[in-house]
Amino acid sequence: MQDVTDLAFMRVIARYGAPDFFFTEFFRVHAQSRPEKHILRSVTEHATGRPVFAQLIGESVPDMLRTVRELLAFPVAGIDLNLGCPAPKIYRKNVGGGLLRDPAKIDAILGALRSAVPGLLTVKMRLGFDDPANFERILELVNRHRVDLLTVHGRTVKEMYRGEVHYDLIARAVQLARCPVLANGNITSAPRAAAVVAQTGAAGVMIGRHAIRNPWIFRQCREQFAPRTATGEPAAGVFQPTLADVRDYVDRLYSATATPGRPERIQVARMKKYLNFVGQGVDPAGAFLHDMRRAQTEVELFVACDRHLLVDPARRFAPEPYPGVVARPNREASFETCSLDTGPVRPAL
């Protein structure tokens, strides 16, 4: 997720249980672009012990090839092509999810990338732009160009993050693709991940927004997929965080994302980008979100956190988002986010 799942977030989430591998924020590729230094740090400085794939978004083949050559000089696990971003300011430039309208362009890009990437080449896509009319055609291109891993978000670009995820079409991708397929979209918890894997036959899941809400989710997935007891329960149990654990997470996020010289109000606004997701599991009435969103200073922010997280610190943090408690990730700060579900975990460990 652009401007969210950065180096600082990778380091924090690794503290609670890192995914099998990470994807960077996307490198914007165009005629004047160079790999952004702050995103490169996610590759060179993350120290999480997990592989990191470099994610690209663009449509110019020569510039894609130039960028790949530059990125392969760094210890990337592979190159990932973004065909999924649903933000209008992105798809209007015919990149991200916008490319799903143009299979011929996707063919050219994948062909060029496959010739330039000696290692792993991965793709994240949605079902289509307005509808899934091109879905199977693009899956054919994924096969033709020997993509190594495919992630499918089970909605169209126009569906954004609204409505039901079409897991039946993810299952269709599993049937047709010659590479492993990760299921993406509304992977809200470890039990949900297990259910989606069972329903689709996917090799695993990719998680983005719900890893911000619940940084323990990758640990929980490993425990969920672990050997079972005779009664069908995970043999080692699944960790259940408390509100005190959430308060520790908030502290670590604040420290990790703080930048010397950044105005306090900007840092507080940045924290709200994360806490909008966290708040979905704090209380069913959304009272934490109400108070947190009105904080203007660090003191006010942590007073709100303490009021809702430390009054009953042993209370269990909700494993699923409370119904009707909605995160507003793009309305709390001056910068916008193209929300991309990132950070997978495989059931077979």
Chain Cα centroid distance, residue 299: 30
Q: How many CB atoms lie within 10 A of CB 51?
A: 17
E-state strands within 29-141:
52-57, 78-83, 120-126
Pairwise CA distance, residues 254 & 224, whole Å: 29
Give the model's pLDDT for residue 2: 76
Pairwise CA distance, residues 7 & 134, whole Å: 35
pTM of the entire structure? 0.91
Residues known to be catalytic: 85
Give the model's pLDDT for residue 270: 93
Task: Tell which residue, 314, 308, 281, has the closest CA to residue 294.
Answer: 308
Pairwise CA distance, residues 216 & 16, whole Å: 5
Residue 154, C-beta contacts closer than 8 angstroms, at least 6 positions apart: 126, 127, 165, 166, 167, 169, 170, 183, 184, 185
Task: Tell which residue, 103, 96, 92, 101, has the closest CA to residue 59.
Answer: 96
Average pLDDT per consecutive 10 residues, the chain (349 residues; last block may be shorter): 85 96 96 96 94 97 98 98 94 95 98 98 98 97 98 97 94 98 97 97 96 97 85 78 98 95 94 95 97 97 98 97 82 40 41
Helix (H) or strand (E) holding 211: helix 209-213
Q: Which residue has the tokens 């362009």?
A: 105
What does 234-274 look like in DSSP terms, one character per residue?
BTT-----BHHHHHHHHHHHHHHH--TT--HHHHHHHHHHH
pLDDT tens for 182-226 read: 999 999 999 999 999 999 999 999 999 999 999 999 999 999 998
The three state secondary structure string of 279-336 is HHHCCCCCHHHHHHHCCCCHHHHHHHHHHHHCCCCCCECCCCCCCCCCCCCCCCCCCC
Residue 139 phi, psi dihedral angles, 5° rounding? -60, -35
Q: Is 344 within 8 Å of 205 (Cβ atoms)?
A: yes
